[in-house]
Structures are given as structure tokens and as C-alpha cells.
Amino acid sequence: MLYNILRFLGLDSGSIRNIDSISLNFSWGWASFILAMLVVLPIAWFSYRFEGKNISDKLKRKLITIRIIWLTIICFLLTGPTLIVSGWVPLQNRLAVMLDTSKSMSIKENNETRFDRVKKLIKNGFLKKLEKKTGIYPDVFAFAENVTPISPSEIEKFNLKPDGNQTAISSGIKNVVSHLGEGNILGLIMVTDGVNTVGENPQNTLSKMRTSVSFVTPGHGGNITDYALNLIKPPVLGYLNTNVRVRGEVSARITGTHEKKEKIEIKVTREGNLYEAIPVEVTGNGIKVPFSFNVPCNEEGSFRYELEIPAKEGELTEENNKTGFLIKVVKERLNVLALSGLPNWDMKFITNALSGDPNASLTHWAKIMDNRWLVSKDFKVVNGETEPKFDEELNNADILILNGIPYNYIKKYETDIIKRLESGNLGLLILPTWQSLTQLGYKGTEIGNILPVIIDNETWRGTPGNMVLPSTETAYPFLNFADDPVENIELISSLPKFEGIYDYESVKLTSEILLSSTVTGHKDKIPFMIRARAGLGNIIMINGGPLWPIGFRLVNSERGFNTYAGMIVNMLKWLINRREDAQVSIELANSRGYIGTSNVVKVWVSDSKHKLMQNARVVLTVKGEKGEVYDLVCMETSEVGCYEAAFIPVSQGLHTIEAVASYQGKEMGRSNVDLLVETPTSEFDYPLIKADVMERIAKDTGGLMVFDDEVEKLIDSLNSVPGKKLENKSIDIRNSWLLLVLILLLPCLEWYFRRAGGLS
């Protein structure tokens, strides 16, 4: 009743329909209203006493009444009146049921898949029983990597399939809760096996939820037979005349055969031909057994390697019995020319690191006095010279290291350096020295302009610091010292400290910080290692140092891996082996992709002068192994000359991606790259039902974990009466249309009476 009256007056009480009480409030309190009336009413009264014309008492009373009412309303409105409406609103009137449609739900138990059991559960009236108990028909969702609402008619047909490649439990629950509103949910019931493959750990993220999460587990685990083959960071690039080590793991999970050993053979094929057979002994308890083999890179080109283990009868899935990788073998190009303003320990230890690589050669010139240069060729010191000529060495160099060399010594080679750099035939490494770049004369020069930083306000900060990897997963292999990303971050941050670092005005927008530092500069943490592009060439600039203590103080690890030498040699190799095509080049983060997972393809376009181009049109044509063809148009990115598209494969096998770039209708060039697509098998990595995890989440959130043959227990535990809560709402009376009408109507009425009485 009250709700309807308020609505009639044009006042909205929101979700409060059962109004319990109403009170009137003033923004400035009751006193302000009374005070306003005490001022206004006597004035109104007296003003009528001095009416010019004779007026009947009846009319006078009428007019005074109208004016007093009008003024009262005005005073009333001026004091900010609000109605405080208090009433009961229904709470927890929604119930959510989430059905897991990921591939792990296709695991069989007694010849029946987990998803068949879910189907049976729904067909047996699980949803109707829930409605009967709570009075709420549940909102049903299907989830795997994404969440999809399911309508009652779709539930009736039940055409769902367990084909999701990943399971994101945390984000699935969060999406549903935010969609329905946390306060409105009576409960959330997940029908799942608890296998989470992506996103946050549900145990950590959901424990503090206010919504109770309950689980229905389809089956008790079942008999599992599954072999799994997995490669650990398969190689992408190999250098000619070297070997690349490939590492992987194989496991077997066979119910009831925990400790029983079994011999299986991993068949490795290279371009379809048998390359190697690796015998491995596994036990049925799922323990991963490592294996490794060498891939010789004795010819240039791309080579496809496939690995396979035999399938066992009744195996859960055969998709994880094979895997593969694509390796691109490139000619080793590591002729390094280093120019130093003075001999120093940094270059000495870089020389030592490079000397360990049989394919690297180094020529190092160091100016010692005005008329004397020291020279080291192929890691051997030779007699000093008075007038060095770098022309020939520069032409043969793949990498140029500038190590405190004054600009005037390389001025005459500057154009040549830039040209070779932009054409992708030279990589540039800038090392810090005791003289700043401005002191060395690089400010305002062509070389100075292509550096990753703006050489202004160059300040030396003599604060020791550590290197910091800015992201968990670095795309740069030379910064990956450990397989585990967290271990890698820790390893980098524990390297010997540097003594100081140069702070610059700013890092250019197109540059990328590869390593940050713990030293704070004039803006933020000062970058330690920055990368920039110059045409098709790469530049790496190191701002802090010295670097040599890393090479000197670190002894070789147990794995026989020298962190420093690995970083230096791989960084230099990366610097030069980046680009492959003159005008159009494709950058793919990995040569291996997965069905249903997005692969970002970057295409770099430059003109015939190797200047990166804007406003080009770049089209990708992707050809699959089975003859399927897809066309994708790349979007221009904020980086000059870079165009990007995302390709989501739908089938497995080798895919060739061809990029064609055109500008104003004229083709600029084209480039190809291969992508090996595999079916993701992470859903089968942990095929057991994770009852313990689900039980813990249910307990933490006030829910329950039950098996599908005991759902009645769960239904009984649900509170059948939806709750309600007392809510208050403040309504501004000034929004009432009735008051507006009165304010307008009363003066009109007064005017009418005055006119009828002959007063105006």
C-alpha cells in the first residue's frame, strides 16, 4: 500500500516493496524548517494588511491561505526533506549450478564417463529437487575455460559435450558470482572432478568467498590407464654444426599397479623417418620419468620432430601419447667486433665467455694511448698497433660491441653501421663504462639517436643494486637460466650486485626493458638492460655494471652450466639471428601452438630503405596440414612498423603462416613461418578426482562436497527458506511530481482569485 502511494507521488523506494516504516528528515534539521516558517509567515501576513484596494474578508482569507500554503511548501523544499523508507528485501533468491564440460570429464569409470554420470544426475531430476527444496529454480552454467549460461530448454535436450581444453575453476566461480550478485546467491553447486588446469589455485582464491560453494563429484575415481608424454621447453632454434639437447618426461598412471615397473619405448621421428628409439622404464603410480636426446643441427632449415609412445588398451586418451616440436636451424653467425675506449675487465670476461663457444670469433680493439691500440684477435692478444682500421672487420662482423669508445673514432663508420644494423645484418651491444655516452660524444649523433634511451640528463647512480626480471615469463631465451620461472627470477636477482647504473631522461616508447634493477632513479626503478630495434636490427643496451663479477665470482653450476657465459653467448646469438626477411618478417612467440589457444603473430614491415612502415596492409594466410586455409588481417600496433593478428588453431598438425604486406596497392614483400599445432593434453595430466581440494574449498566456504550418488545429503543441507534483510532507503522528496504541480498551481490559483476579485 505504502509502496503504491509513494510510486503515485513519483517517489521510488527501489527494491523495498514491503515498507515497514517511513520517517521524514531534513538536511538541515527540523529547526531550519521552523525558523524559515517563523520568518516567512509574518512577512506574508503583514504584506496582505497593506493591500491597496478594498477587499472582502472572505477573499482575503482565501488569498492568505493560498500564499501561506505556497510559502510553506517552498520553505519545506528549501530545507532538504527526505523520506527514510525502511523495509524487508528478499535475499539469496538465486541458486547456481555449474557443470564442468572440460575434457577430463570424459574419463571413464566402469565404462561410463564422468560426464555420462552428470547427464544421469540431471535426468534424474537433480535441478527439480533443488527447486522443490529451496523454491528457487537454479541458474545453470557450463564451464571449462569459459562460462556459458544454459537455458532450461537446453538442459532438457542436454546436448553438452566434455570438450573444453582447459578448466578454470576460480575464474568460473568468480564470473558466475559477479553475474548473479554475491548477496543474492543462496548457494553455488559445482558438478566437477576438481581438475583445475589454468588460472589461480582455487584453494587459495576461493577460501574467503562469502557464497557457499558445494561440489558434486561424478564418480569416485575409477580405473585409470594412461600414458603421458611431455616435452620440457622444446627447442625452437638451433645453430648449424651444434647439438641441441631435448628434454622430456614420460609417465604412466595405471590403477592397481603402483610399483610395478614397465618398459616402454619412445619413438622419435625426424621429418617422418625414424630417428631414435629411447627405452624408458615407468611405474604405474604416475611418477614422471625424465628422458633426453640430442638433435644434431647439421643442415640449415626447419625440421619437424615427432615423439610417440605406444597406446595401451583402454587408455584414457591417446592424445597425450604423442608430441613434437619444430626446430629451425640457422647458420651460426657470431663474428664479434668489440671497440673499447680502454682495456677493462668487462670485455676481458666477455672474451672469456665467448672463447668457450667453438663457433664464435672475436676481434677486440682497445685504445690505450693516443697513438696506441691494443688488439686481440680470435681470443689471442697480438702486438699493438698505432692506426687501426676497422673497415674490413666491421663488414664481417655480426655483432658490434661499443664499450666506451669515443664517438670520433667510429664517426666515419657510422653510416655503414646504421645501414648494416637496419638491414638486420648487424646486432649492436652497448656496454656502460666510466665515461657517460654524452662524455663520449654520442649525444645528437645518428648512433645516439637509435639507442633505446633518450641521452638527456644522463646521471650516474653509484648505488649497488641487483638485476630484476620484470615479468615471470621472459620471451628472451638468454634470460632463462632455470626451467622454473620463479626459480629463474630468484636466480637473476641473486647474481652478484652491480656497483652503479646510469639513469637517463627516459626510455623510448618503442624500447623494451629486459631487465630492471633495484635502484630507484629520478622516475622509477632504473632499467638495467633495454632492447630497441633499428629497422630489422636489434640493439641491447646495458646501463649498469660492472658485469664481470658475474662471470668471475660464479662457479659453474652442478649442471655444468655457466650462467654468465650462457647469458653472454646466447644474448649475442639472439642479437643477430632475429630477422629473416628483408622487408617483411614474422615474429611468433613459439613455434608450437595448441588447439583453441591464441597465438599472437607479429609482422614487421619496412620499405626498401629498411625504414619501418606505417599504414601498410598486412594479410596472413594460414594453411593447415589437412588443406584448410584461413585468412587474417593484421591490425597496426602502437609500435611503428609492427602489425599484429591472433590465430586460434582448430586442428592439429603443421600450419604454415604466410604474411603478405602491401602499401597503396603495391606488394612490399612476404614471409613465411611454421607453427606446429598440438592438442592440449593438460586435462589428462592429473586424471584423478581431486576430492581433497574440493572438500577443503567446500569446508572453507560453508558448502559441502558429495559424490553423485549421495546428492540428497547436499539438497538437505540447503536452507529451504530464502532469507530477507532489512534495508533502508533515503528518498528525496524534491523529486515528487506532485510538489512541482502544487508549486506551479498555487500562484496560478492566487492570480485567478485576484483577477476574479478585481485586484489585478
Partner 1 sequence: MTNNYRLFMLIRKTLLATALIFSALLCAGKSFGADWDKIIIARLKYSGGGDWYVSPTTIPNLLKQASKRFKMPTQQEHIGVAVNDPELFRYPMLYASGHGQIRFKDNEIMAILTYLDNGGFLWINDSYGMEKYVRREVRRLYPDREFVQLPKDHPIFHTVYDFKDGLPKIHEHDGKPPAAYAIFDKGRMKILYLLESDIGDGLEDEGIHKVDTPAIREIAMKMGLNILAYAMMQ
- Give contact residues for partner 1 (rule: CB under 8 A): 342-346, 348-349, 351-352, 355, 364, 366, 368-369, 372, 374-376, 379-384, 432-439, 443, 455, 457-460, 462, 499-500, 502, 545-546, 548-549, 551-555
Residue listed under C-alpha cell 647439421: 298
Give 229 or 547: the residue with its C-beta nearer to partner 1: 547
Give 242 or 436: the residue with its C-beta nearer to partner 1: 436
| Strand, coil or helix: 649 | coil
Handedness of CA 566, 568, 569, 571 (dihedral sign): positive
Cα 385-390-395 angle, rounded to 5 deg = 150
CB of residue 413 vs partner 1: minimum separation in angstroms? Answer: 22
CB of residue 456 vs partner 1: minimum separation in angstroms? Answer: 9
CB of residue 382 vs partner 1: minimum separation in angstroms? Answer: 6
Which residues 6+ apart lie within 8 Å of 268 measured at CB? 274, 275, 276, 277, 278, 293, 305, 306, 307
Cα(286)–Cα(260) distance, rounded to whole angstroms? 11
Give 178 or 386: the residue with its C-beta nearer to partner 1: 386
CB of residue 235 vs partner 1: minimum separation in angstroms? Answer: 27
Cβ atoms of 157 and 64 within 8 Å: the answer is: no
Give 4 or 494: the residue with its C-beta nearer to partner 1: 494
| Strand, coil or helix: 277 | strand
Give 526 or 731: the residue with its C-beta nearer to partner 1: 526
CB of residue 498 vs partner 1: minimum separation in angstroms? Answer: 9
Give 457 or 520: the residue with its C-beta nearer to partner 1: 457
CB of residue 659 vs partner 1: minimum separation in angstroms? Answer: 42
What per-residue string of b and e applies to 288-301 under the rule 16 or more CB within 10 Å gives b?
eeebebebebeeee
CB of residue 269 vs partner 1: minimum separation in angstroms? Answer: 38
- What backbone torsions phi and psi does residue 564 show, to the nearest 5 degrees? -65, -50
What per-residue string of b and e applies to 367-398 under the rule 16 or more CB within 10 Å gives b?
beeeeebbebeeeeeeeeeeebebeebbeebb
Question: In the chain, how many H helices and how many E strands?
Answer: 19, 43
Give Cα separations from 39 to 68, 343, 508 (angstroms): 12, 94, 69
* DSSP conformational letter for 733: G
Give 335 or 433: the residue with its C-beta nearer to partner 1: 433
Residue listed under C-alpha cell 633495484: 518
Give 520 or 720: the residue with its C-beta nearer to partner 1: 520
Residue listed under C-alpha cell 658475474: 550
Cβ atoms of 101 and 144 within 8 Å: the answer is: yes
Give 235 or 452: the residue with its C-beta nearer to partner 1: 452
Q: How far is CA 632 from the centre of its chain?
A: 22
Give 263 or 380: the residue with its C-beta nearer to partner 1: 380
- Burial (CB < 10 A; 0-12, 13-18, 19+), residue 721, is exposed
